[in-house]
Amino acid sequence: MPFVRSGHGLVFKEPLGVVLGIAPSNAPIILGLRAVVAPIAAGNVAILKMSSSLFSKTHGNTIGWIDPQTHYLLASLFRKAGFPPGVLNFLLHRPEDASEIFNTLINHSAVKKCNFTGSAHVGRIIASQAALALKPILLELGGKNFTVVLDDADLDLAAEEITRGAFLNNGQICMSTDKVLVTATVAPVLEAKILAMLDSIRSMPVLISTAAKAKVEMLVSDARDEGARIHTPAIVNHNDTSDRSFPPTVVTGLTPQMKQFEIESFGPMVGIMVVETEVQIKSMIKEAKYGLSGSIISRNICRSLELAQSIKAGAVHINSMTLHGEPTLPYGGYGDSGWGRFGAHLGMEEFVQTKVVTLHP
């Protein structure tokens, strides 16, 4: 590096040490690997810990496990590939011990950083505990992701991308499309196209837990009470239904007074809100607490790029759904969606520290 006085400046990137990765259940292979591969590739060793959300309450006071074998498989693959013992460590615990175990780990002198993927509620707890230990963290939290449909949009494309984004993996993805903001001039046609696609769905989504189903039911009930219209397919296959089943649902007539306007559903539902002008859309987006992912459907790319730059979100996808993941691109959120980035070279930078050495011959 340039050096102002006689000599030379060197910049080294060094591993941190031990990195704790806490991964969720909704995409266990992808997100489990993401929690540990970049830290190890950067020269660290890692601990893969399952999120406490991987445990769910069943009937009464019984605690039921959500099968941890996928995360165990990932740890086993490192061992089978020949990594030395201790490079990747796999940790299981009871849900009631989650807080104590995290505190023990984050306060241990060997643990230098934590990355966590999960809810904003748990993310706040982890951030506060890590702050007391003066340990950095990388947080990828929830999202209330929206698709903006402008008046010059290809409405067939918009309906297809919104439907895919809302119901893929039963809506249980942090990038799922939760909300649609559409200009009034094209709203009736767009709604008709989305409802036609909804009516063609025959499968019955199943959620991760009965608590997840109860949350979606609450959001639908509140929206109905506030005057929204609730749409589900006329015919769905009920052969595989369970106490966690919930039909794909479209809420029309969404308003800011409804809980679904701000609360992440994490289920197979999407709300459509009609907005008069693009200025109003920008105002609503500016006030949003979450900032993980968004999308814009418009034939005018320059107009879309200008709008995308005004959106405080980690990713904005033009003429595509809100779900989009590329290993060559950084990924993370703004605001209540967390901070830091996974993926690409920025993801590697998260797990090294910078040291300057000057040479004076």
pTM, to two decimals: 0.88
Nearest 5 degrees, angle CA 78-CA 81-CA 86? Answer: 40
Domain ranges of the chain: 8-141+337-359, 145-318
Q: For residue 116, list its beta bridge partners.
A: 22, 139
**Known catalytic residue at 217:** no
* The predicted structure's pLDDT at residue 194: 98
* The predicted structure's pLDDT at residue 126: 94
Q: Does pLDDT of 35 surpass 50?
A: yes
Q: Any idea how long the chain is?
A: 361
Q: Does domain 145-318 have CATH number 3.30.70.2190?
A: no
**pLDDT tens across 218-248, in order?**
999 999 999 999 999 987 765 656 889 999 9
In angstroms, rounded to a whole number, what is the distance separating the alpha carbons of residues 202 and 277? 35
Q: Does pLDDT of 323 surpass 50?
A: yes
Q: Does pLDDT of 56 surpass 50?
A: no
pLDDT confidence tier of residue 55, bands split at 50, 70 and 90: very low
* The predicted structure's pLDDT at residue 63: 33
Quick one: how far is CA 357 from the chain centroid? 39
Q: Does pLDDT of 211 surpass 70?
A: yes
- Percent of the chain past pLDDT 70, that is, above it, reads 93
* The predicted structure's pLDDT at residue 327: 83
Q: Does pLDDT of 53 surpass 60?
A: no
145-318: same fold as 8-141+337-359? Answer: no
**Known catalytic residue at 140:** yes
> Are 272 and 281 within 8 A, CB to CB?
no
Quick one: how far is CA 343 from the chain centroid? 14
Would you tell me how many other CB atoms lie within 10 Å of the CB of residue 7? Answer: 10
Q: Does pLDDT of 54 surpass 50?
A: no
Q: Tell me, what DSSP letter sits at residue 202?
A: -
Q: Does pLDDT of 67 surpass 70?
A: no
Catalytic residue among 140, 191, 264, 350: 140
- Please give the CATH superfamily to which domain 8-141+337-359 belongs: Aldehyde Dehydrogenase; Chain A, domain 1 (3.40.605.10)
Q: Sign of the CA dihedral 153, 160, 177, 330? A: negative
* The predicted structure's pLDDT at residue 235: 76
In 3D space, the residue among 329, 358, 350 whose CA is nearest the CA of residue 41 turns out to be 350
Catalytic residue among 114, 161, 174, 191: 174
